[in-house]
Amino acid sequence: MTKPQDVITDLVAAAEEVDQFVAGLDEQGWNTPTPATGWTVKHQVGHLAFIFRIAGLAAADPAAFTAMTAKIGPGGFDAAVNGALADYIHDPAEVLLTRWRAERDAGVKALAALPAGHVVPWLVNPLPVEVLACAGMMELFGHGQDIADALGIRREYTDRIKHVTGFSVRTWDFGYQSRGLTPPDVRFGFDLVAPSGVDWVFGPPDAEQRISGSAADFCLLVTRRRHRDDLDLRATGPDAEQWLDIAQAYRGPAGEGRRPGQFRSS
């Protein structure tokens, strides 16, 4: 079970990693295109700043968060996120960096102030605060990877990605939902190897449908930052085989993902 203080500590470290990617960039660097079509480094950081802003609002002022989400239009949350980017991407680099840090710190502080198991409102269903913090880890992993890829940074993964793997196992059916598919009536098992070499096992140990391989590659798969062909992951069973094609740890449209051979395996 995820302990709130553990995930908050790792959330701070993951956010600081992203901060280090961009802290020394000039304006041209901030406008570098990333592998996400149409998104520059500014878009990526603006998106993260917005996510931390609304997570902090959900934790500190649930009524205000609920009122805000009630105003989201027919385009849904994805349209709201894209609309919010306009509030960030036209800022000069030093202004956006300051905003990102302030909204990140405020969001983390609000999450850290809540006790274990405290449920906060979120975009579809309320979540325990520690699960929302894990969702933040997933956002940092995915968008941080886009920034690293754009800037030619070789990322060093650590065992704090266990929060991302656990969250992604919890949301294993999102890939089906985003495509209008019915999830299979089975439980998957996941046998993953941490960056440190430790074995992480999720799900029933006797599950017939299994995913195995590198935990870092698993995170790259579920955030759709690498194509399955470029990853050290294996499926046992037909349902698991299909899942490798559609896995994602976030709600909403899957996006175009990445092409086979676009990046080397981690």
Q: Which of 98, 122, 155 is the last residue of a domain?
A: 155
Work out how many domains the chain is built from and give that number: 2
Residue at 252 is within a domain: no
The two tokens of residue 41 are 């480094």
Residues 12 and 36 in one domain: yes
255 assigned to some structural domain:
no
Residue 219 lies in a domain: yes
| pTM (whole model) above 0.85 | yes
Are 12 and 132 in a shared domain? yes
Q: Does residue 21 share a domain with residue 145?
A: yes
Q: Are residues 170 and 143 in the same domain?
A: no
Sheet holding 209-214, edge to edge: 199-202, 188-193, 209-214, 233-236
What is residue 53's predicted lDDT score, i.e. its pLDDT? 96
- Which pLDDT tens digit goes with each residue over 210-237? 999 999 999 999 999 999 999 999 999 9
pLDDT tens-place string over residues 132-190: 999 999 999 999 999 999 999 999 999 999 999 999 999 999 999 999 999 999 999 99
- Given a cut of 70, whether residue 74 has pLDDT beyond it is no
Q: Residue 201's beta-bridge partner residues?
A: 191
> In the predicted model, is pLDDT for residue 2 greater than 80?
no
CATH assignment of the domain containing 176: 3.30.1050
Domain shared by 63 and 15, yes or no: yes
The per-residue pLDDT for 266 is 47
Question: Which domain covers residue 17, as residue numbers?
Answer: 4-155
C-alpha closest to that of 50 among 4, 102, 114, 8: 102
What is the per-residue pLDDT across 6-26, written as a single tens digit (0 to 9) for each? 899 999 999 999 999 999 999
What percentage of the chain has pLDDT greater than the value 70? 95
48-85 burial string, b = 16+ CB within 10 Å, else e? bbbbbbbbbbbbbeeeebeeebeeeeeeeeeebbeebb
Q: Is the pLDDT of residue 265 over 60?
A: no
Q: Is residue 142 part of a domain?
A: yes
- Do residue 140 and residue 48 come from a single domain? yes
